[in-house]
Structure formats: C-alpha cells, structure tokens
Structure 1
Amino acid sequence: MTNEMDKTDQARRTRGGFSRLLLWGKIKVRPFWRIFKMPSAQRWLLLIVASLAIAAFLSQTLEQAPPLYRLGDMAQKDLRTDRDLLVKDKRATEKNMEDAARKVLPVYDYAPSVLPEIEGIIDSAFSVMRRRSSEKTQKGEVEHILGFELTSREFLVLKTYRFNEKLIKRLEDLTAPLMKQGIVSDKELLLQEEGIVVRNIQTGEEVTRRDLDSLLDYQEAKEAIKKTLEGPQTQNVPIDLRGVMAKIINNLVSPNFTFNREETDRRRTVERTLVKPVFFSIEKGEILLRKGERVTEEGLLKLEALREERRKGGTLVMVIGFFLLTGFFVAAFYLFSTKNIRKVSPTNKDILFLILILISSLGMARISVAIAEGLAGAFPGVPLSSYYYFFPVAAGAMLIRVVLNSEVALVYAIFVSLLTGLLLGEGIFLPIFYLIGSIVGAHSVARCDQRSQLIKGGLLVGLTNFLLVSFQGMSTGRIFEVDILFGLLMGLAGGAVAGIMVVGITPVVESIFGYTTDIKLLELANLDQPLLKEMLMKAPGTYHHSMIVGNLAETGARAITINPLLARVSAYYHDIGKITKPQYFIENQMTGNNRHDKLTPSMSSLILVSHVKDGIELAKEHKVGSKIINSIRQHHGTRLINFFYQKAKEQENTGMQEVDERDFRYLGPKPQTKEAGLVMLADAVEASSRTLDDPTPARIQGLVQKIINDIFIDGQLDECELTLKDLNAAAKSFNIVLNAIHHQRIEYPEAQAEGERQKNGGSSPKSTKEAKGKAGKSKENGRKDIKRLGVSRE
C-alpha cells in the first residue's frame, strides 16, 4: 500500500514539473516572439538590416576576386587596383635569401677521438700478437681487431720484430700529425667554400677555419704517410716493415673532419627566414593588366598580391567586427538625430524608405565604380577620380526632401556623403563634395509643386558641383589640367542626372509608400478630382464649406510659414465623409427639414462622429495620401458636439443614467501637425461665421477670437506645436478672408417692366427711400465697425 502511494506522489510531481515547464514556455517563449510585433522592435530590426547592408557594401570581403590567369595568358579586360598595394618581389627576395644562405659557412664536425681510437686499435692488436698462442689463431684475432686482412708474409714480418713497443710508438707517431692536421673525405667540395665552421663534437666549441688548403683528403694522407716512411726518420726501419706499417696506417686512418649537411642546411634555412621580403609599391587606380596583353610574371605577382590583400579581410572575426562597428555608427547617428532634432521622428515606414534609398545609393556607387574603372581603362588620360563627380548622390537627399522634410534630408545627406566617401576612398574632398551638393539639392526642391522644379534643382546641383570642382582645382593649382576640366563636366552632368532621376522616382515612391508630396497635393487640389466632384453633386453645402475652409487654411498657413498647399488640400477633403449621409448635416439641408429632429441626441452625435470614419475610408479608397488621411482623422480632435450634448442634458430625466460627456465627443486624435490644427480652426471658424446675423468686421473678429480660445482652452492644440504667436497670426488672416466673404452690399431696387409697374401701381417713392435708407444705414454701420477695428477712412 505504501509503495503504491509513493508511486502516485511521484507521478503527481512529474506532472507538476511538466506543467511548470509548459507554463514557463508560455511566459517566456511567447512574449519573445511578440517582441517583433512591437513597433520599436521592428524599428531596431530595420536598423540592424541597414547595418548589415552598409557593412556588406563597405567590407572588402565581398569584393570580386581577381581572375585566375597563368603565365602567358591574354588578359580579357583591364584590371585596376582599388587600393594601394605592396607586391612581394619573389625573384629579388629569393635572390637575397640565396645570398644570405650562401654566406653561411658549412659546418664540419671535428672528432678528436679518432686518433685515440686508432692508437687503441694498434695497442689491442699488438697485445694479442704478444700472447702465446697458435699463429693461425693470433692472425685471425689481429685481423679482426684491425678490420682488414694481413698476408702471411706481413704477419710474419710483424712477428719477426716481436710486436715491440717501439714499433707501436712509430706507428702512432706517423698517425698523430696527420690526424691533427685534419683529414676530410672530399677536399674538392671543401675548396669551393670561403671557410668552414669546425665544431668539436665533444665540447661543442666552434672555430672558423679559412686555411682550407692545409686540410688533407684521404689520398693526400696516404701520400703523406708514404713520404714520411721514405724520409730520413725511418731510414733504420727495414723496408719490409715499412710496407706493413704503411698498410696498417693507411687502413686505420679515416677523416676526422666530417661535413654536417643537416646542421648546415638548418643554419642556412634560419638565415633565409631572417631575410626581409622585397616589395614594390602599386598606387591605387594603377592598371595591373591591360586588356589584350599577355600576362607576365610580374603581372602574376600583382594579381596574387591583390588576391592576398582581399583574402585578409575574409576572417569571420573581422567580418563580425566590421558589422558591429557599422551597427554602432548607425545606432549613434539614429539616436542623436531622433532625440535632438525636433522634426526627425521617422515612422517604421519612413525608416524602411530611408534604408532602401541608402542601399540604392551605395549600390549605385558600387556599380558606378566598376563602370568608371572601365572608362578609365579605355581613356587612360582621364583619372579615375574625375568620374566620381558624376555620381548622383544628391538625388537621395532631394527625394527625401520632397517626400519628408528638410531635417531628415540633412541627416541623410551627412550620412550618405560620409559612407560614399568611405566607399570610394578618395580623401576628404569627395564627402564634402557630395554633402554640399546634397544640401543644395534638398533646398532647391523645398515646396516643390511642379515636376519641372526638380529638373531646375538638378541643374542647380550641377552648377554647385561645377563650382566645387573648380575651387578644388584652384586650391591645388591645377585648374587648367585635363582631369580638373573633365571633372567640371562630370560634376555638371551629375547634377542634371540627379534631377532627372528624382523626377522619375518620385511617382513610384508616392505609389508604393503612400507619401503625399507637394506635387501629389497639387494634383489633389484639382477640382476635377472624382471625389470632389462627387461631393459637389451629393453634398453641395459641404463642398462650398470646404472651399472656404481651404481658403482660410491656406491664408493662415502662409501667415505662420507652414505648407499652404497641404493646408488647403487637407481642408478640401476634411469633410468628404459627409458624402455618405449629406442630409444629416445642416449645410446640405435645402428644404429646411432637419432630420435630427426625429433622432435622439446620442444617435445624432453618432452620425456626426461617423463622418470622420467614413471620410478616412473614402480617402483610403481614392488613395489621397497619408497626410490628408491624418488631417481627416484629426480635424475635429476630441471636441465636444456641444449642441446635441446640451440637448441631451435638457432631455435628461432625474434618477436616470446621467449623460456622459464622453459619448458626445469625437474620437480623435488631436491634431498632430500645424497644418491639421489650422484646418480644425478654419473649419470651426467658417461654420460659426454662418450663424452671424450681421457679420460686421467687429463681430467676425470677436467670433474668430472666441472660437480659437475655446479650442485652445479645450486642449485640442496641445499636440500640434501651434504657438500663441501662430494663433494670433492665423486669427488675423481668418478675419481678412471672412470680411472679404461677408462684406456689405447695397440693396439695389428691383428692375421692373413699365407695364408691370403701372399694373402694380408704379414705383413707390417710399420703397425707393427705404432702400436708400437701408443702404445708408448699412454704410454707416460699416464705417463704425471699421473705426472699432482701429482703421479710419478719410
């Protein structure tokens, strides 16, 4: 029973552990994947991709390897080096190594033990001879010790002289001088050297000997022995004994100086490795191989040097390090720009767009370098750097200025100019050249509402490039040299190409990313747009209201120096949602019947609020652009629908659920840009101005001020950066427009036919006087209103 309970408890613990593991997975794993759904995570992921792309373009590891040629092959194309190279001259280096090895003297091992060994052999042999044993046995033992055979006569001669000590002494005296002088096996090989290093194999001591002629080879040693035996010092030795002595010495003497090839080769190898390689330099841009020429040995050395230089950057650690360096640079640039420059607050879509432009620009630079190298090979008189002035780097900054704003264009210009300069590696002038051209190009297309202005901007960039190259030529004193003159033409043409590129790319960017440029806004401002024509037919009152709001917003935008075209077009489209239910809006109720009379206040407020949502859907359907859609979404902010809220409060029953103000507010958000805030103000002012019975200048001014104050106090302008100065300037511009719309008119008498006047009793003097009185009264009231504003008329 106890065992069963233990097994049950163990099973529960196992299930509990498994359940905790699953729970940990839900807590840890799922949020990890959800991170990539967060906009901030997506933004940093895009920046990582940008870092990888930049590292790929700037890294030398991704360069195309030089072609493989063999000696004598024909070069298929010009090959130009893209960096300074030091090429190892193998022939010169090998010669130096051979010279160094040749200077190493050969090592000969000196064996001082050879002479004692010979003396020991002689002593051992003669000691055997002195023993009393059979002649045959003695002879065999002696021959074994000596290492060679003796004839019976020779052995008999030795035996006759009783193997005495004097004989041994004579043999040793003959051998010792020869061994001390030194005997080598091959003297001819020895004499080829300037000297030798003699190393004592017992003590390890080394001495250098230059007197190589004093050494003997084996043949010379034999002749020396023969000459000594024939000399006066051996005159008392019998001839037959001299022959035996010569045979013993000749057979026992061996070289005591032995050539040590292994040690000699080792020392020579060490000296070879100590020799420094010989290099010759190749400057960046120099042609290594020309098309159609045979590949020489020197050309192969240059190719191998270039291949080795590019191979150096191929290690994984270097690639990772370069990517981290690039990523740190991108992150620092991004954080500084977004935290310190007010208008640099890109969305993820903007970051994606900027990355694509950057990658396209760097890729175009890469391709252009290859083309420039080909042209430089075809026209050797023109330096490669002159072609770099043609690269339309400014096109990216111009496009960003057209699509986004000046601040982002400036940040991009600095970034891309620096990277392109690093890519080309032509010193400090190229980054400055590209930066100034990009800034001028971005400025030239500000408030661009015509595509021809993009071409003009490109020409202005070309002129700037022309001046920069000329200034650079003047600073170096080479203004009239061929490369500077050609650079002037390249810079001028590069600016024009940049403008043409922007003209072609802008519509594509507008279509893909949904950006609303000034050119697009100008197209949307055309009153023949299908959406505006539909509003004119279905909601004419709203159409008229939108046109007036457009004029108000445009005038206000000019007064506070923001984009007037964006403000006007936003106003045109801000109420397009009323097309779906036009009769529920007062400006479209021509018959005087108000449909809201039969609805509850809450239902009426829902209908009014829904026109914002309907407008957004229509705008997306007709692809009017994100800026216009944002203005539609924000033009009411979170304002209160006061009329129906007050009506609901009046109908509120005591004891029932209280009316919640939030149910009668628009959903927002509040205006995020100055243009959207201005549209909100213009919309409210225009609608309220229609309620004035007698729209005099003073009343209009008071109404405008009241509407703006109410909106400001309600906090609707907290997020759009409109200042009090901006509000004051906008109010003044609104007054001017509304006074022009609601100006006083003279009531002209109705023209009637003569017969009709008689039928009706003729014209009434009284009515004429009343008309004049009304006109005079209106004129007098107008003068009073003008005086109230502080303006006098003489």
Structure 2
Amino acid sequence: MPDKTKIRTLGRSKPQKRGERETFHGSKQSSKKGHWFGPNVQKWAILIGLSIIVSILLFPNVLTRPRIYDLGDVADRDIKASRELLIENNELTEKSRQEATKEVLAVYDFDPTGTNILARIGDAFSAGRQYLAEVPSVTDSPEKLPKDQATNADAFKQSFFETLDVAPDEKIIGLLMKNGFPWEVEETVIDLVTQVQKKGIVINKAILERQSGMGIFLHNIHTGQELKVTDLNRFYDVKAARKIINGQSQALEQSLSSSRLAEVAVNLSVALIKPNLTFNKRETELRKDLAQKSVKPFYFKVKKGEMLVREGERIQGEHLLRLSEENKSLKQKEIIGRAPAMALLIAYLLAAIYMVGLLTNGSSREEVKGLLFSAVTLLAVFLVVVMFNFMAEDVARGFRFFSPRTLLFAAPVASGAMLVAVFQGMRLTASFSLIISVLAAFVVGGDAEFFLYFFVSSLIAGYGVRH
C-alpha cells in the first residue's frame, strides 16, 4: 500500500514564503522593464537622439530668434552673411524708374478735322440757301414777315448757329441772309479755319512749352497714327489762331465782293476757332507706368561669410537693407520646418546603414556599447567640423595665400575614422566614414568634392591605422 505521506506531498505543493513571492514579482517587473528599455530600444534611441542633435547643430537658429535692429541701433556682435545674398538696390532702382518716367513723351490727341467743322460749315450754308429758296421774302423785308414766318426764321437762325456750334450773332446771320449765303463767304471761312486747324490749336500753350526739351507724341484720333513732334512752335493757342485770322481782313476785303462780306467771313471764322489739340493724361500716365515696370531692379551681391555689420557699429540704412535680407533666410518658421526635415533625413541614413548591418558587431549588449561609442565619436568629430567651419574665415585673413574654402579641406574628419578603426574594425570604419563625410559636407556647404575628399581620406586613415 502506498505511503500516504508521499501522496500528500505530491498532491499539494509547499506554500511559498513571503520573501520568495516578492522575489518572483520583482523578477517579473524587471523583465517588463527590460522589455521596454532593452538593447533594441536603446539602439534606436541612440540613432534618433543623434539625428536630432545633428539637425539642431546644422540649424542653430531654430532655438533662437535673430535680433531685429532699428536705424541708429548699435550692433552687439559681428554679423556675417549665412549664405549668398542678392539684395535689391532700392535707391538706384527708384532713380532709374524716375529717369524712365521722365523720358516718356506726353501724348496729345490731335483732331485735324476739328470735330468735322468743314462739313458743318457746308451743312449750315446749304441749309441757309435752301431756306431762302423756300421763303424768298425774308431777304427783302424780314421785319414785315407774318408771325408764323418770323417764328420759322428765328428757328432757322438758331439751327444755323447750333450746326456751327457757335454763339448766335444777329449781325452775321443778317448779312448772310441778305446776301443769300454766298459761296465765296463759305469757301473763305473754310480756308481760314483750315489754315490754322491743320497746324493744331491748344488750350494753353504755356503748358505745352514745358515739353519743348523732349517733344510730344501727336496722336491722330481718326487714323490712330502717332507722330513725334519736337518743334512745338508750330502749334497755336486760341488767341494766336484768332489773331492770325483777324490779320487777313485787309486781304479779304480786296478778294471778296464787299468789305462787309469780308468782315462776316472773318468774324464767323474767329467764332469757329476751337482747340483741336488736347493733352491725353490717361494715356501718358499709362505709358509712364509701363516705363516704370519695364525697369528691372538693380541688385548687389553679398557673398557667404561677408561681414554685414561689425560689433559696436551704428546701424545705417544700408545695414538695415542687408540685415533684413539676411533675416529672411533665418525666418523662424522656415528653419523650424528645415530642422525636422534634416533630422528625418539623417535618421533615415543612420537607420538604413544600421538595418543592413553596417553599424552592428557582436551581441546585443556589445552592439549598444559599440553604437554608443560610434555615436559619441561621430558627434565629437561633427562638432569639431562645425567649429572649424566657423573659424576658417578668420584664420584665412591671417594667411592671404589661403582661402577659407581651401582651409576647410584641413578639417580633421578622418580622426574619427581612425578611432573607430582602432576599436571596432574596418567594417564599421567604412560605414562611419560614409556618415561623417555626408554630415561634414552638409556643414561646409554640401559640395560633392568635400564629401569625396572626406570619405576617401577617412577610409585611407582608418586602413592605415588598422594595418
């Protein structure tokens, strides 16, 4: 028969002591903690942290705002151009625009027909002859006309002057009606008016003479053609045009059948004189605007690293112009957008190299230590390159035969590869050289020749130390 004591021992386990239970729960919690902060998480934290730090070092202004200076302020530090700047020279541009505006010729609308004055003269005289043919008694004794005919006569007179667009004159219309609206008077009036109108009549010649140094554009409103006129003495004002017509009175008295008809022809011609040359302000202003817009802005170039303002210097207008252009490239929103983008780009680069196994070597814990060593070395070399790039400009001033760009090739990028080669081998040296060369090239301007030089020199230095 089996032993009862043994059966009870197998059926019920011995109760755990309090210390053993605490040890069990503690190991359970430590396993959870190890899961969240294990080697894989530590490696990714190193890669992400390195990416963020490097991106901030590439864009240090993301943490600070550039000071905005006003006219008359004193610069508290030396300020250099962070990149090549193309700055508009507002003073020279505005001066060129004003000169272009002054060179625009004034536009004057010219109506050679004088609002169809010749046709209106012909219509008025034809209507007068037709009226006299219908009412011949008007010329004999106009004061004895019946009331209805007198009313018609007044209406005709008003229509006559409205056709000519002149003020009514009883003396003129009376003589014309008495003489039957003679053809010789009509032709004389047409000749006198045409004589001055074809030259051009302006309202105020004093205003026109302001353009005498340059001339004007004469725009024919009927044909649309334009003619540049520099001799402005050819034009008349209303007073001068009427004076010319009045000066021909004596000659007309001899050519016409009577002196009274000559007087009528002269007086009617003088009344018909009106300006036919007017300043087109709208068209002139449009051409001035086009001339201003056609002037391209003038720019001056500021090279990268060129001093914008020195410490202790008082801010002048030119300084403000340069500093405002520099601040445009340092806008907080733009930099805040660039820094995360650069961090993401660097993280992709590090993650890609890590995932293909170029940054791993050994067990998980050894991988973390090796990755941390590589990250610290990378960050240290990167800081040295940043400082070297910052000091290259000042160092180059002491050596005229060296340019700042030449001195950048002396940056100790290969020193990091040498350290990695000593402690981690050539496989990790190659991946380290690739990463530090890319980042160093970003610091010094992103040129391909710097990347190739840093990469090749790092590989050679690592191989030389290892072997």
Shorter-chain TM-score above 0.5: yes
Shift of 1:176: 1.5
Write the letter of the residue equivalent to 1:230: S
Which residue of structure 2 lines up, in the alignment, with residue 93 of structure 1?
93
Return the match for 1:230 from 225, 241, 249.
Answer: 249
Query: Aligned partners of 1:53, 1:243: CA distance in 2, in Å?
Result: 103
Query: Aligned partners of 1:232, 1:245: CA distance in 2, in Å?
Result: 12
Alignment check: 8 A CA contact 1:115 1:175 kept = no
Structure number with bigger Rg: 1
Return the match for 2:184 from 156, 160, 166.
Answer: 166
Unaligned runs of 5+ in 2: 1-35, 136-148
Query: Aligned partners of 1:167, 1:189: CA distance in 2, in Å?
Result: 35
Q: Provide closer, same or farther for how the CA distance between residues 202 and 307 of structure 1 changes in structure 2, counting only shifts above 3 A.
A: farther
Alignment check: 8 A CA contact 1:107 1:263 kept = yes
Shift of 1:285: 2.1
Q: Residue 255 of structure 1 aligns to a residue in which SS? A: coil
Which residue of structure 1 lines up, in the alignment, with residue 109 of structure 2?
109
Shift of 1:419: 1.9
Which residue of structure 1 lines up, in the alignment, with residue 139 of structure 2?
none
Return the match for 1:253 from 250, 265, 273.
Answer: 273
Q: Kindly provide the CA deviation profile for residues 413-433 of structure 1, in whole angstroms up to 9, marking residues without a partner as x.
A: 442244224313397579857
Q: Residue 174 of structure 2 aligns to a residue in which SS? A: helix
TM-score, normalised by the number of residues in structure 1? 0.41
- Is residue 2:190 matched to residue 1:140? no
Which residue of structure 1 lines up, in the alignment, with residue 31 of structure 2?
none
Query: Aligned partners of 1:271, 1:312: CA distance in 2, in Å?
Result: 38
Which residue of structure 1 lines up, in the alignment, with residue 16 of structure 2?
none
Q: Provide closer, same or farther for how the CA distance between residues 340 and 91 of structure 1 changes in structure 2, counting only shifts above 3 A.
A: same
Shift of 1:170: 1.6
Shift of 1:437: 8.1
Alignment check: 8 A CA contact 2:358 2:427 kept = no
Shift of 1:47: 6.3
Q: Kindly provide the CA deviation profile for residues 619-653 of structure 1, in whole angstroms up to 9, marking residues without a partner as x.
A: xxxxxxxxxxxxxxxxxxxxxxxxxxxxxxxxxxx
Which residue of structure 2 lines up, in the alignment, with residue 122 of structure 1?
121
Q: Provide closer, same or farther for how the CA distance between residues 430 and 166 of structure 1 changes in structure 2, counting only shifts above 3 A.
A: same
Which aligned pairs between 1:104-503 and structure 2 lie closer than 5 A?
104-112=104-112, 114-115=113-114, 117-127=116-126, 129-130=128-129, 131=131, 132=135, 133-134=149-150, 135-191=153-209, 192=211, 193-227=213-247, 229-230=248-249, 232-236=251-255, 245-308=265-328, 314=334, 338=357, 358=378, 362=382, 372=391, 376=394, 385=404, 404-405=424-425, 407-425=427-445, 432=453
Write the letter of the residue equivalent to 2:182: N
Alignment check: 8 A CA contact 2:85 2:301 kept = yes
Alignment check: 8 A CA contact 1:357 1:396 kept = yes
Shift of 1:107: 3.1
Q: Provide closer, same or farther for how the CA distance between residues 149 and 257 of structure 1 changes in structure 2, counting only shifts above 3 A.
A: closer
Alignment check: 8 A CA contact 1:69 1:295 kept = yes
Which residue of structure 1 lines up, in the alignment, with residue 27 of structure 2?
none
Q: Kindly provide the CA deviation profile for residues 34-75 of structure 1, in whole angstroms up to 9, marking residues without a partner as x.
A: xx9999999889868866765665469959775433444333
Query: Aligned partners of 2:324, 2:42: CA distance in 1, in Å?
Result: 44
Q: Kindly provide the CA deviation profile for residues 684-733 of structure 1, in whole angstroms up to 9, marking residues without a partner as x.
A: xxxxxxxxxxxxxxxxxxxxxxxxxxxxxxxxxxxxxxxxxxxxxxxxxx
Q: Provide closer, same or farther for how the CA distance between residues 313 and 203 of structure 1 changes in structure 2, counting only shifts above 3 A.
A: farther
Shift of 1:315: 10
Q: Provide closer, same or farther for how the CA distance between residues 283 and 144 of structure 1 changes in structure 2, counting only shifts above 3 A.
A: same
Q: Residue 197 of structure 1 aligns to a residue in which SS? A: strand
Alignment check: 8 A CA contact 2:214 2:230 kept = yes
Q: Kindly provide the CA deviation profile for residues 375-426 of structure 1, in whole angstroms up to 9, marking residues without a partner as x.
A: 959x976899499799886776577568755543453244224422431339
Query: Aligned partners of 2:181, 2:311: CA distance in 1, in Å?
Result: 90
Q: Kindly provide the CA deviation profile for residues 537-568 of structure 1, in whole angstroms up to 9, marking residues without a partner as x.
A: xxxxxxxxxxxxxxxxxxxxxxxx9xxxxxxx
Write the letter of the residue equivalent to 2:121: I
Which aligned pairs between 1:575-586 and structure 2 lie closer than 5 A?
none
Q: Number of aligned pairs?
A: 405
Q: Provide closer, same or farther for how the CA distance between residues 263 and 355 of structure 1 changes in structure 2, counting only shifts above 3 A.
A: farther
Q: Residue 115 of structure 1 aligns to a residue in which SS? A: coil
Alignment check: 8 A CA contact 1:63 1:310 kept = no
Shift of 1:341: 9.8
Query: Aligned partners of 2:363, 2:108: CA distance in 1, in Å?
Result: 82
| Greater relative contact order structure (CA < 8 Å, 6+ sep) | 2
Which residue of structure 1 lines up, in the alignment, with residue 7 of structure 2?
none
Which residue of structure 1 lines up, in the alignment, with residue 12 of structure 2?
none
Q: Residue 166 of structure 1 aligns to a residue in which SS? A: helix
TM-score, normalised by the number of residues in structure 2? 0.64
Q: Provide closer, same or farther for how the CA distance between residues 125 and 408 of structure 1 changes in structure 2, counting only shifts above 3 A.
A: same
Which residue of structure 1 lines up, in the alignment, with residue 138 of structure 2?
none
Q: Residue 153 of structure 1 aligns to a residue in which SS? A: helix
Write the letter of the residue equivalent to 2:190: E
Which residue of structure 2 lines up, in the alignment, with residue 688 of structure 1?
none
Q: Residue 198 of structure 2 aligns to a residue in which SS? A: helix
Alignment check: 8 A CA contact 2:215 2:231 kept = yes
Q: Kindly provide the CA deviation profile for residues 153-197 of structure 1, in whole angstroms up to 9, marking residues without a partner as x.
A: 344344333333332222111112222222334444444252333
Q: Provide closer, same or farther for how the CA distance between residues 166 and 242 of structure 1 changes in structure 2, counting only shifts above 3 A.
A: closer
Q: Provide closer, same or farther for how the CA distance between residues 252 and 341 of structure 1 changes in structure 2, counting only shifts above 3 A.
A: farther
Q: Provide closer, same or farther for how the CA distance between residues 51 and 340 of structure 1 changes in structure 2, counting only shifts above 3 A.
A: closer
Q: Provide closer, same or farther for how the CA distance between residues 406 and 175 of structure 1 changes in structure 2, counting only shifts above 3 A.
A: same
Shift of 1:119: 2.2
Q: Kindly provide the CA deviation profile for residues 461-484 of structure 1, in whole angstroms up to 9, marking residues without a partner as x.
A: xxxxxxxxxxxxxxxxxxxxxxxx
Which residue of structure 1 lines up, in the alignment, with residue 143 of structure 2?
none
Q: Provide closer, same or farther for how the CA distance between residues 152 and 179 of structure 1 changes in structure 2, counting only shifts above 3 A.
A: closer
Alignment check: 8 A CA contact 1:406 1:443 kept = no
Q: Residue 116 of structure 2 aligns to a residue in which SS? A: helix
Query: Aligned partners of 2:326, 2:92: CA distance in 1, in Å?
Result: 19
Query: Aligned partners of 1:436, 1:393: CA distance in 2, in Å?
Result: 8
Q: Kindly provide the CA deviation profile for residues 244-295 of structure 1, in whole angstroms up to 9, marking residues without a partner as x.
A: 5455444433333333333333334334333343333323222111222232
Q: Residue 187 of structure 2 aligns to a residue in which SS? A: helix
Query: Aligned partners of 1:182, 1:246: CA distance in 2, in Å?
Result: 19
Query: Aligned partners of 1:355, 1:194: CA distance in 2, in Å?
Result: 75
Q: Provide closer, same or farther for how the CA distance between residues 62 and 155 of structure 1 changes in structure 2, counting only shifts above 3 A.
A: farther
Q: Kindly provide the CA deviation profile for residues 478-514 of structure 1, in whole angstroms up to 9, marking residues without a partner as x.
A: xxxxxxxxxxxxxxxxxxxxxxxxxxxxxxxxxxxxx
Q: Provide closer, same or farther for how the CA distance between residues 426 and 174 of structure 1 changes in structure 2, counting only shifts above 3 A.
A: same
